[in-house]
Amino acid sequence: MKKEYKLALFIFITIFVIDQFVKYAFVSFSWDIDGPFMSLKLAYNYGVAFSMFSFLQEYLKYIQLLIVLIATIYLLKNKEVFFKYYIAISILYSAGLSNILDRFTYGAVVDYFYWHYGFEFAIFNIADVMINLAVALIILMQIKEMRKEKKNKEIKF
């Protein structure tokens, strides 16, 4: 097995297990804590980011699974994309599938981080943070690649 696959699998399993453990603990043991800047409060998100599309509550898990299936087919047909972004993809898949599992297990995504210092922000979870991290990594890699291509074009002329 290629080292990229091994590392991707390790990242996937690690993030998935940690996220599911923390969510289970919040649901089962009431880990609610109030803090001056951020609190830990159990909340259920029936939609996606910022509870958008919550009217699709019953169908979101299937829509999201379909999106994951389409993305997987794309990656199988375009392996170079996977190998280029395998770390970000493994983070994205683990976090996304963890949130989808929540929909099947709890009927909604389990959220618990509540930022309230200076302004109130949406309640979110580790998987949400990881999804944003993965997207940021992809964007940064794209910017780096565009700069490199631009620099190579300037050198040729």
- Among residues 19, 32, 34, 111, the one annotated as catalytic is 111
Tell me, what's the pLDDT at 50?
66
pLDDT digits 0-9 by tens, 18-51: 999 999 999 999 778 888 888 999 999 987 776 6
Q: Answer yes or no: 128 catalytic.
A: yes
pLDDT digits (tens, 9 = 90+) for 108-142: 999 999 988 887 788 899 999 999 999 999 999 99
Q: Which of 19, 32, 34, 128 is catalytic?
A: 128
pTM (2 d.p.): 0.87
List CB contacts of 91: < 8 A, sequence separation 6 or more.
11, 15, 130, 131, 133, 134, 137
14-46 burial: b if 16+ Cβ within 10 Å, else e: ebbeebbebbeebbeeeeeeeeeeebebbbebb
Whether residue 32 lies in the annotated active site: no
Residues 6 or more apart whose CB falls under 8 angstroms from that of 83 comprise 4
The region that residue 93 occupies, defined by phi over 0 for left and psi between -120 and 50 for alpha, beta otherwise, is alpha
